[in-house]
Structure 1
Amino acid sequence: MKRDSPDGVWSIRRWAVLSGVLASLLIGAAIVAGSMALVNLTDSRSRLLDVTGPQVLQSTALSTAMLNQETGVRGYILAGRAEFLEPYRDGLKAQDTAVAELRRLGAIPGTTIGDDLDQVLQAASTWRRTVIEPVLAGAPATGAQVEASKPLFDGVRGALNGLQSRLEAERLDARNDLSSAADVLRVMLVVIAVLLCAALALVFFLLHRKLISPIRQLAGEVRDVATADIHREVRGSGPKEMRELASDVESLRSRILAEVTHLERAQETIAVRTRELERSNSDLEQFAYVASHDLQEPLRKVASFCQLLQKRYQGKLDERGDQYIGFAVDGAKRMQALINDLLAFSRVGRRPGESVLLESESLLDAALGNLEDAITESGARITRGELPVVRGEKSLLTAVLQNLVGNAVKFRGEDPPEIDVAAELDGTDWRFSVTDNGIGISDEYAERIFVIFQRLHGRGDYPGTGIGLALSRKIVEHHGGRIWLDTTVTAGTRFCFTLPADQSPSEGNGQA
């Protein structure tokens, strides 16, 4: 189906890509700025800790080495003892070490600090060449040499002070740079946090505006259609996919509405025909009742006169005459039985009797009492389980048990009938069963046997009107249950029927 979607409407994917790009740009900018600030802080820290700080320390070590040299030379000149030259020699070694470290740390020729270091070394070289080297060469030490040494070493000291002052200035600049870098990093962290919040807010705004809000709107419209007004049109908004989904839902709603309208019309038609069928069934039942009732009296007269003819003229007529009278009497009796069964069938549900709690044991006893002659004649043995208390009409439920047990006695095989009546709780119903060892019923007749006037055997083989099982089904259904042939039984026959289990506290349940 082609969906209608306005031109220029963005899809969810495009909105997601846009949101992702904007968020990525903001986050990327924040990361770059933060990284630059962090690199600047690291460089400033490295400059302070790895360059300017060690340079100051080495300049101090150089100054100490120079002072040790001056002290050793002064002592040697004044005392003339060689051991006083040890501080001088140690100072020379310390000087070389300090100068090497300063060179490594960047005080190379051509740089400001390198030039200052060169001035210190040049002043020290002049001092040693003028004062120390002549003495070490064997010239006699005099007080004039001591006096000449002082201004020369003051030049060395001045050059050292200049070097140290410049290095202190460099360290102060490094400290200031480190402090500034730290401030910049703190500001950048705040900016990064703000940018991240802005990115999240932007993404949330776009999601809410372009996705969540249209989804809620569509869900609300669908909910209204599902629960209240199926005639309400579903309209989508937002991204392309949401509009397409709304179009699909609207198409589905239209089809459902058409189906519902069709079903409503069909239900109206069914309701009309159901009422007509109920009226027709009622008329048929009324006709059957009236016809059966009105046939009773003339049929009773026919049967009575036929029996009188049989009693008075039996043996006085020829054999064929006696046979004809016998046929008439037998037909009248069968007609009376059929009319009585029709009356019983038509009365079920027409005039509901009192529904009371009944002992199934008593119902079975009454049914067996009505069948006493047939049971005695057939030699049937009847067993029963523990039967419950049920609610219903006594005469009708007795008729059900009487029909089922009577059929078990009637449709027997060569062996005497063995009949078992049992009941068990099945959910909210009592499931009764009547099982026998008779001739059985084929599965293909499982439904046909419950149709009125349907017989599987001729009247000559087994007497009856063909109404018993149909009457039993009508009675059971009238009590809210169902009846069926258990087709899983292969030997004999088992009929089952259900009755609602009475849950009232006053129930005297006959089965635990």
Structure 2
Amino acid sequence: MTEEINRLKEELKRKTEELESFVYIVSHDVKAPLRAINNLVEWIDEDLNGTTGDVRENFDLLKNRVKRIENMMNALTELSRVRRMELDMAEVNTGAMIAEILEMIPDSKKMKVETGKMPVFRTMHSKLYKVLYALIENAVVFHDKEDGHIRISCKEKEDCYVFSVKDNGPGIPEDLQGKVFTVFYTVNSKDVRETTGVGLTLAKKILDFVGGNIQLISKQGEGSEFIFTWPKELNVTN
């Protein structure tokens, strides 16, 4: 029985690696023709300078769609490389990291953002950055109130840090909460909120990789809270 379980684990690992390799190759190979299309779009844009009406409107729609596909391909490439990315261990000041992330998200300046006491510890810098960025960006981008408020906090436990990103935004309907970590899924139409729908998927995949976990607490109309654990001793699963 033990041998069979080990064999199945190895088979699952091999299939996962094959799938990740396939996604990486496809997303990488699509980028070249996509860049060519983007160049054509830019040239046409120059020729249409001053054009108004339906032609301009339809062309802008085309341009936005090309940009969206480009962003989705980049996101797929990043997803496929979670297990391949360099394990950049460093002393991380998470308070400074969060401040840097907020600077990278312009709309965060329109909101009240509170940050509690944050730890400084040695860990994989880029992976923790990507998780925090995805959750903070999600709280900012999908906020729908003028008095936007985000609270970022952290509690230290014996074997991990427990981070929380909480907002007073629209919240997520209960029947949709199980889908938020699905790749390319967004609660709102991408035409309403321009997003790839990959950020939360990437965050969860990174947390699975390092041995952490994530949960969502949300009530429609009252906001959402994402809580994730980040191990002090990383249990990297290959």
Q: TM-score, normalised by structure 2?
A: 0.89
Distance 1:336 1:460 in 2: 16
Distance 1:305 1:488 in 2: 45
How much has 1:490 moved relative to structure 2?
Answer: 7.9
Aligned to 1:126: none
Letter in 2 for 1:273: L
Aligned to 1:325: 59
Aligned to 2:44: 309
Q: Which has the higher helix share?
A: 1
Distance 1:452 1:493 in 2: 19
Aligned to 1:500: 231
Residues 420 and 434 in structure 1, CA contact (< 8 A), matched pair in contact too: yes
Match of residue 348, structure 1, among 66, 82, 87 = 82
- Describe the shift of the 1:479–1:389 C-alpha distance in structure 2 as closer, same or farther (beyond 3 A): farther
Is 1:297 the counterpart of 2:28 in the alignment?
no
Is 1:380 the counterpart of 2:111 in the alignment?
yes
- Describe the shift of the 1:273–1:294 C-alpha distance in structure 2 as closer, same or farther (beyond 3 A): same
Residues 88 and 126 in structure 2, CA contact (< 8 A), matched pair in contact too: no
Letter in 2 for 1:303: N
Is 1:365 the counterpart of 2:96 in the alignment?
no
CA offsets 1:40-59 (integer angstroms, 9 cap, x no match): xxxxxxxxxxxxxxxxxxxx
CA offsets 1:261-297 (integer angstroms, 9 cap, x no match): xxx1xx4444333322222221111111111112222
Distance 2:64 2:179 in 1: 27
Distance 2:36 2:7 in 1: 44
CA offsets 1:179-209 (integer angstroms, 9 cap, x no match): xxxxxxxxxxxxxxxxxxxxxxxxxxxxxxx
Letter in 2 for 1:328: L
Distance 1:435 1:367 in 2: 16
Give the number of equivalent residue pairs: 233
Distance 1:455 1:289 in 2: 22
Gaps of 5+ in 1: 1-263, 503-512
Match of residue 459, structure 1, among 165, 172, 190 = 190
- Describe the shift of the 1:364–1:419 C-alpha distance in structure 2 as closer, same or farther (beyond 3 A): same
Match of residue 278, structure 1, among 8, 13, 22 = 13
Letter in 1 for 2:215: W
Q: Secondary structure at the match of 2:180?
A: helix
- RMSD (Å) for aligned C-alpha atoms: 2.1
How much has 1:479 moved relative to structure 2?
Answer: 2.3
Q: TM-score, normalised by structure 1?
A: 0.43
Residues 425 and 431 in structure 1, CA contact (< 8 A), matched pair in contact too: yes
How much has 1:366 moved relative to structure 2?
Answer: 2.1
How much has 1:489 moved relative to structure 2?
Answer: 9.8
Q: Which has the higher strand share?
A: 2
Residues 167 and 224 in structure 2, CA contact (< 8 A), matched pair in contact too: yes
Letter in 2 for 1:275: E
Q: Secondary structure at the match of 1:321?
A: helix
Distance 1:324 1:442 in 2: 33
Residues 165 and 225 in structure 2, CA contact (< 8 A), matched pair in contact too: yes
- Structural mapping, 1:253-272, within 5 Å: 264=1, 267-272=2-7
* Structure whose alpha-carbon radius of gyration is higher: 1
Letter in 1 for 2:17: S
Residues 169 and 221 in structure 2, CA contact (< 8 A), matched pair in contact too: no
Residues 363 and 397 in structure 1, CA contact (< 8 A), matched pair in contact too: no
Residues 159 and 232 in structure 2, CA contact (< 8 A), matched pair in contact too: yes
- Describe the shift of the 1:396–1:279 C-alpha distance in structure 2 as closer, same or farther (beyond 3 A): same
